[in-house]
Amino acid sequence: MTEEKVRLESPQKEGGGRNGGVSDGEMPQILNEALLAGMREVPKGETASYIPELSRADKTDLGICIYTRDGKVYEAGDAEKRFSIQSISKVISLCVALQHCGFEKVFEKIRMEPSGDAFNSLLKLDMTSNYPYNPMINSGAIAVASYLMPVFSFKELLDYAGKLCLDPKIRLDERVYSSEMGHSARNRAIAYLLQSKGIIECDVERSLELYIKMCSLSVTAKSLAGLGLVLANGGFHPKTGERLLDREVVRTVKTIMLTCGMYDGSGEFAVEVGIPSKSGVGGGILSVVDRKMGIGIYGPSLDQKGNSAGGQAMLRYVSEKLNLHMFAWED
């Protein structure tokens, strides 16, 4: 598969089948309209404030990339601007853990249920459950990191992330990592609570360090679209045909993304957009349209739940225009 890139001009920033039968020629207009829809929501949000380095992002940045199975790449806005992957790294870590540590190991002490709470909440872990509710919240992802830490070096995970995202330029953002490590009291509390419950059995500090390093990877909307495409393609590399992930891993990860991927807004997002997705407080959203495309979003202006305000609006627009909702009725 060769890559054919279509670059779309961004508007000026101001305050048949499951693609809806849309032709290649119509895609530029649709993405530009989606960008405008997203820009209208940007002023309603704010950048993440609890990690100082993330708060420095330009809240008016907004970009979208669609990477299709037939090799076409459509971009609009700030699609190739690098930003911090944050919680979207939980998808990568879960993929690697399921692939190499096994389902029994991962889900022995991590559940698969939506929590209904904020991504960094300790409440249910401390009061109502001995196990993290799912791998897409901080407690579950820190536990996953503890399973990976004895098996993989960070360099090996970085290389794995580059392959899954079709982006060999993914790197650790040292400034974000330093900033997050300096403000990690809540995640450290979660990690030691996990240890007290017997969920983390190895070195807590090293597990936490690996978790935060993975959250500090520098990616683009196109990187996320690449990862989405690998998942949409059943775990196969779309260019080489190499199997990167087993089919069962892909199915499980996409299902958990649909039910738990948008923090405590996952249910509403699933109803309105209907695309398995994972957000991060760096402003990214990863979306997977099965057997069709991967979608990557960047928009650091966040709503109160930590999801990109403009990014969600763009995905709503694109989902409707291209008929991408996984339960949409096809005429």
Catalytic center residues: 87, 90, 211, 263, 281
- The two three-digit tokens of residue 242, written as one number: 């190499």
CB of 292 closer than 8 Å to CB of 44: no
What 8-state DSSP symbol labels residue 280? -
CA distances from residue 142 to 43, 115, 194, 271, 329 in whole angstroms, order as listed: 32, 16, 9, 28, 39
Residue partners of 244: CB distance under 8 A and separation at least 6: 163, 164, 230, 235, 236, 237
For the range 36-40, what are the long-range contacts, defined as Cβ-Cβ under 8 Å and sequence gap of 24 or more?
A: 36/11, 37/313, 37/314, 37/316, 37/317, 38/62, 38/64, 38/299, 38/309, 38/310, 38/311, 38/313, 38/314, 38/317, 39/11, 39/13, 39/14, 39/310, 40/313
Residue partners of 309: CB distance under 8 A and separation at least 6: 38, 41, 42, 44, 45, 299, 301, 302, 303
